[in-house]
Amino acid sequence: NTLTPEQKRKIEENRLKALARRAERLA
């Protein structure tokens, strides 16, 4: 069950967006 490079890229992008949102909430 391996992910395609595009899926990996999307996941990393969503992870970074979520981290930014978390930081925003904590600010």
Partner 1 sequence: YGFTANQNQVFNLIKSCSLAEGISVQNLRTALKYMSLYDIRNSLQFLINEGHIFSTVDENHFKAT
Query: Applying CB under 8 A, which residues contact partner 1?
Result: 1-3, 7-8, 10-11, 14-15, 17-25
Contact call for residues 11 and 3 (beta carbons, < 8 A): yes
Work out how close the CB of 2 gets to partner 1 at its nearest, in angstroms, rounded to a whole number.
8
Work out how close the CB of 18 gets to partner 1 at its nearest, in angstroms, rounded to a whole number.
4
φ, ψ for residue 10, nearest 5 deg: -65, -40
Work out how close the CB of 14 gets to partner 1 at its nearest, in angstroms, rounded to a whole number.
4
CA separation for the pair 18, 15 (Å, rounded): 5
